[in-house]
Amino acid sequence: MSLTLSLPRPAPSRSRHPRRIALGLGLLALVACGAPEMRAPREDSTPELLTVSAQRIELPPMKRFTTAPKTTPRRSNVQMAQDFMDLSFRLETGATLPVFSRFEGPISVRVVGAQVPTTLNADLGDLLDRLKREAGLDIALVPRTSPAAITIELVPAAAFRKRAPNTACIAAADVSSWAEFRAARAASWTTVRTRTRAAIFIPTGGTPQDVRDCLHEELAQALGPLNDLFRLPDSVFNDDNIHSVLTGFDMLMLRATYAPELRSGLTREQVAALIVPLLDRLNPAGRGGGLARVDTTPHDWIANVTRAMDGGALSARRAAATRAVAIAQNRGWSDNRAGLSYFLLGRLQQGQNTEAARANLEQARRLFTGSSLTEIAAAHATLHLAAIDLVRGDYPSALADLDPAIATATRAQNAALLSSLMLTKAEALLRIGRAGEAQAVRLDSLGWARYGFGSDRDVYAHIADIQALAR
């Protein structure tokens, strides 16, 4: 999760750790969304070092996604109008925004700072093209020496962590540099009536996917909605960290934000009177639906889910996940929030209680599989279930659902998840004697692993972890 700050009272961290979707395989378990660590949950603090044949694999060039994901919003406009209001008039702190705000006129973006990764410019260019095409924004990149409405600054990691620990990236109002942000005392999203400038801060040293994911979420929030809602199954505006790139829903929210019917300074009541007809114009397929009843997300569930996704003692995190499941059951949920509750509990039980972990992960996948809006979440659960099957030596079961999950991860453009699924498939194929197929799948996965996990050392460690599961 990211951090959208209002000063002088900053919003609390949304438990977004340096790896937005922290995917990794450990000796006994896989780590996926919402987890800060690269390795499996372990009770000890000194993970075993492995020396395996993976160390001698020659890595191919990095791969990156070059086409836009094809997703469309699939809920009624009435429902999405409520989402728009909740996203646009409230901050995660609970503070309400007195008026609607956006940039008026053309929007310029620049990139400054040290150690700008080579992939950033390409990924930013792709994102800006999508914002123009899908959200209808008048937005363009300008030279780093030019003034800009939105400044993206790469900040030395040590300085960033000192100011914002346990945070992947930041979007801040009414500043244009890290130095200005550190010195600011009065800037606040709650006082903004028309957006004129904002800044996005990203620490150096992140993987290509980390940086891209920060670009997507923080640029979207600097431009439009400032809130996150756990109830949204198909959006980056959700603290579950399931989605890596902007979805069709997110683009619709941004297109509505910059529609001619709206303008900065409108009150909540004025926007509420306009938003349904506006969405009907922009999204004819969503006309005619009603407002589906969605139970309000209680604060105690949010607190427990955040605790389960955060760092700290595994016993405390498991207890928090157990409480989240109980709350979901008591409220009769069967949506993405229920699925997330079971998923977190199952993930944290891996290596501690395998059968309970499997049961909870299977329940999570059943809930996620019930809707096309949550297929990427189902792919995360599939990865963990396949890991358990590798440990058990049940290689056919490990293979059973990997191909659909690989296709889903590809559509969602999540290279870390995609490479993890492919490497798991390769290991299962190898164990059942299909070495040629295993080699082809592994080779195909490595370019994605370099994008998702960054350094060669981390890629090799990832391969070693997966091989260790099947021993």
Give the three-state DSSP class for 471.
coil
pLDDT tens, residue by residue, 238-262: 989 899 999 999 999 999 999 999 9
> Cα separation of 251 and 136, whole Å?
9
Q: Burial of 221 by CB count in 10 Å (0-12 exposed, 13-18 middle, 19+ buried)?
A: buried
The one-letter code for the residue type at 15 is S
User: Is 50 exceeded by the pLDDT of residue 32?
Assistant: no
Q: What is the mean pLDDT of residues 122-135?
A: 97
Arithmetic mean of pLDDT, 358-368: 97
Structure tokens at 468: 């260790």
Per-residue pLDDT, averaged over 371-390, amounts to: 95
* Region 401-416 average pLDDT: 96
Tell me the DSSP string of 339-402.
Answer: HHHHHHHHHHHTTT-HHHHHHHHHHHHHHHHT-GGGHHHHHHHHHHHHHHHHHHT-HHHHHHTH
Partners of 139 in the beta sheet?
Answer: 107
- The structure tokens listed for 2 are 């990211």
Summarize the confidence of residues 180-204 as an average pLDDT.
89
HEC readout, 276-323:
HHHHHHHCHHHCCCCCCCCCCCCHHHHHHHHHHHCCCCHHHHHHHHHH
Sorted by sequence, the CB contacts under 8 Å of residue 301 that are 6+ apart come out as: 230, 324, 327, 328, 337, 341
Mean pLDDT lowest among 135-139, 275-279, 461-465: 461-465
| 3 state DSSP class of 450 | helix
pLDDT for 186 = 58
Global confidence as pTM: 0.88
- C-alpha 135/C-alpha 250 separation (Å) is 9
Length of the chain: 471
End-to-end CA separation in angstroms for the chain: 34
How remote is the C-alpha of 356 from its chain's centroid? 26
Domains present along the chain, CATH in parentheses = 24-64+297-469 (1.25.40.10), 76-286 (3.40.390.10)
State the pLDDT at residue 56: 62
* Average pLDDT of the segment spanning 355-366: 97
Of 68 and 223, the one with more pLDDT: 223
Work out the pLDDT band at 30, boundaries 50, 70, 90: very low
pLDDT in tens, 64-123: 998 888 888 988 999 999 999 999 999 888 889 999 999 999 999 999 998 899 999 999
CA trace torsion 330, 333, 337, 343 (10° rounding): 80
As a whole number, the mean pLDDT across the chain is 87
Q: Is residue 15 scored above 50 in pLDDT?
A: no
| 172 bridge partner residues | 5, 199
**Residue 28 confidence class, pLDDT cut points 50, 70, 90:** very low
Grade residue 187 by pLDDT with cuts at 50, 70 and 90.
low
* The pLDDT value given to residue 11: 33
CB–CB of 228/3 below 8 Å? Answer: no
Among the listed ranges 23-27, 90-94, 180-184, 240-244, which one has the minimum average pLDDT value?
23-27
> Which residue would you say has higher pLDDT here, 291 or 45?
291
